[in-house]
Amino acid sequence: MCRFSMDTLTIYQRVLQTVEYFLKNAAHLTINELKDFDPSIEELAKNLRTLATILGSLASSGYDDEDMAINALQCCLELEKLAQIVQDEQEDELEELFLRLEMHVKAPIK
């Protein structure tokens, strides 16, 4: 039996699928290649933040929904950090940030 509404689950899955797709296509790229990523990391983070905000608004039906909303927001925050790292050309921090993003994508759905 599903303990969360289908709307929240669908939005959450969309956020995770987008981040997972980004990771598969960008985790191996250099700073310069990430600067040219299309859509830009900033744009991706902005769009996912919109979804995470909607998810947060819908997440009033219980703990599981709120947990998904928090994880979606954390994905957005990590993408925003990544955008800053790329802008500042801090290549030494890329691997750790990609690992944190991957951790959020693999968070179990309860």
Tally of domains in the chain = 1
Report the pLDDT value the prediction gives residue 39, as an integer from 0 to 100: 93
Residue 2 DSSP label: -
Percentage of the chain beyond pLDDT 70 is 93
CA distance 21 to 19: 5
Domain assignment present for residue 46? The answer is yes
* pLDDT tens-digit readout, 92-103: 999 999 999 999
Bigger pLDDT: 40 or 62? 40
Range(s) of the domain holding residue 68: 6-105
* pLDDT tens-digit readout, 2-29: 454 457 888 899 999 999 999 999 999 9
CA distance 54 to 70: 12
Domain assignment present for residue 1? The answer is no
Domain assignment present for residue 88? The answer is yes
Report the pLDDT value the prediction gives residue 1, as an integer from 0 to 100: 40
Residues near 26 by beta carbon (within 8 Å), at least 6 away in sequence: 34, 37
